[in-house]
Amino acid sequence: MRIIRTAYEMQQTVLALRAQGRRIGLVPTMGFLHAGHLSLIRLARERSDVIILSLFVNPTQFGPREDLAKYPRDFDRDAALCHAAGVDILFAPEGADLYAPDASVWVVEEKLAAGLCGAARPGHFRGVCTVVVKLFNLCLPQIAVFGEKDAQQLRVIRRLVRDLNFPVEIIPGPIIREPDGLALSSRNVFLSAEERRQALVLRRALDEAERLFRAGARDAEALRSALRLIIGQVPAAKVDYIAVVDDDTLAPVQTLDQPALVALAVYIGQTRLIDNTVLKP
């Protein structure tokens, strides 16, 4: 496995690989890898012959009061996991290499990014879209894999690729969970043992949404109230949002007669966790 630290070397390397006709698969991450990331590597492996995993804690997608400084990092462990998983190139650039101090061009998606995490975290998707475009230009992948765990991000990236004509196929990866249902996340490391237990309320709420839906519930507001009640019973939990939105447009829905995304963002103590499920009639 090769480790590349600069944007220039990454682009030169991939230009040579593309000239040899190689098919490049990109897995963008912020590191502190877990089994969710490893599942994305496997999906990339099935569809490409060179896998690039990018590891970059992108400062522009964090708000001023968010956890950029304390975001978990362990480069040596990540490199060992990548090596074992068959990653060909680990691209771990420095922030200063990726962003000029006077950078003035940004990529903004104006519809899908407006609600949910976009509303809760102003500027977040501007940072995400901009760094993803940079990674596409530096890694020149034919395919890129993104997890369903970040449901809004996946939809925003698909729209970005469509509207800016990127020759990149976006492959979604299913949410990987702990045996007890907690969605894997690098931020789970922040949870105390007690918070870790209380964090199961996200999965419990989504299970209840699925159960109610299967039992015939179709009123979105009633569904949100039921989820709010469940989450409200957990002392460490504070709801950031409970959204029931159209699976394509991410616009709020009143009736669940089209595929709907149920998305949660919940603080457990100081740690903000997200999870989601799609309800299909």
Residue 47 near residue 23 (C-beta atoms within 8 A) = yes
Q: Which residue is nearest to ligand AMP (CB)?
A: 147
Token duo for residue 269: 């103590």
CB atoms closer than 10 angstroms to residue 88: 18
User: Is residue 85 a contact point for ligand AMP (CB under 6 A)?
Assistant: no
Q: Which two tokens stand for residue 111?
A: 């519809």
37 is catalytic: yes
Part in contact with ligand AMP (CB under 6 A); list of ranges 41-49, 71-79, 132-140, 146-154: 146-154
Binding mask 147-166 for ligand AMP (x = CB under 6 A): x-xx----------------
For residues 93 and 7, give the distance between their C-alpha atoms in angstroms, rounded to a whole number.
7
Q: Which amino acid is at 230?
A: I
User: Is 275 near ligand AMP (CB under 6 A)?
Assistant: no
Indicate which residue of 34, 37, 83, 124 is catalytic.
Answer: 37
Tell me the window of 7-15, 72-80, 177-185, 221-229 that interacts with ligand AMP (CB under 6 A).
177-185
Candidate segments 78-86, 119-127, 168-176, 238-246, binder of ligand AMP by CB under 6 A: 168-176
The smaller minimum CB distance to ligand AMP, of residues 171 and 253, is found at: 171
By CB under 6 A, residue 29 contacts ligand AMP: yes
State in angstroms the smallest separation of the CB of 205 from ligand AMP: 17
- Position 196 contacts ligand AMP (CB under 6 A): no
Number of residues that bind ligand AMP (CB under 6 A): 17
Nearest to 89 by CA among 18, 20, 5, 19: 5
Q: Looking at beta carbons only, is 176 or 236 nearer to ligand AMP?
A: 176
CB contact burial 112-138 (16+ within 10 A = b; e otherwise): bbebbbbeebebbbbbbbbbbbbbbeb
- Measured CA to CA, the distance from residue 175 to residue 185 in angstroms comes to 10
HSE-CB of 204 using CA atoms within 13 angstroms? 15
13 vs 185, beta carbon nearer ligand AMP: 185
- Contact pick of 17, 25, 26, 37 for ligand AMP (by CB under 6 A): 37
Q: Which CA distances in Å does 280 have to 33, 100, 161, 263?
A: 31, 44, 25, 14
By annotation, the residues acting in catalysis are 37
Q: Which residues bind ligand AMP (CB under 6 A)?
A: 29-30, 36-37, 39-40, 146-147, 149-150, 173, 175-176, 183-186
